[in-house]
């Protein structure tokens, strides 16, 4: 494990520990969560500091539905 990755995981695990009220005996759980978060950031091609996440699979914007012929004027009545 690189030093930068280890440092990031260590800081994140500590932050998780603090967020959860500094519970005793859950350090391995916090470490696993930090590793999972780091792995997710790496899979999404995020910047090293996690400020920017570039998701690989973004939903495509939906195209507006085109109006059908005759939508403006009603069809002529045969009479």
**pLDDT tens-place string over residues 54-64:** 555 455 566 66
CB 33 within 8 A of CB 66: no
pLDDT at 41 over 60: yes
19-39 pLDDT, tens per residue?
Answer: 999 999 999 999 999 999 998
Closest CA relative to residue 38, chosen from 12, 65, 68: 12
DSSP SS3 for 4 = helix
Token readout for 8 is: 């990031």
Q: Does the structure show a pLDDT above 70 at 53? A: no
Q: How far is 30 from 15, CA to CA, in rounded Å?
A: 9
Q: Which helix (H) or strand (E) holds 34?
A: helix 27-43
CA-closest candidate to residue 37, choices 59, 57, 14: 14
pLDDT in tens, 4-18: 999 999 999 999 999
């Amino acid at each position: 494990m690189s030093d930068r990755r280890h440092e990031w995981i260590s800081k994140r695990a500590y932050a998780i520990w603090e967020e959860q009220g500094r519970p005793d005996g859950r350090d391995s759980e916090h470490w696993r969560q930090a590793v999972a978060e780091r792995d997710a950031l790496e899979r999404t091609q995020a910047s090293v500091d996690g400020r920017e996440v570039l998701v690989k699979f973004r939903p495509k914007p939906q195209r507006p539905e085109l109006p059908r012929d005759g939508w403006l004027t009603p069809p002529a009545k045969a009479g």
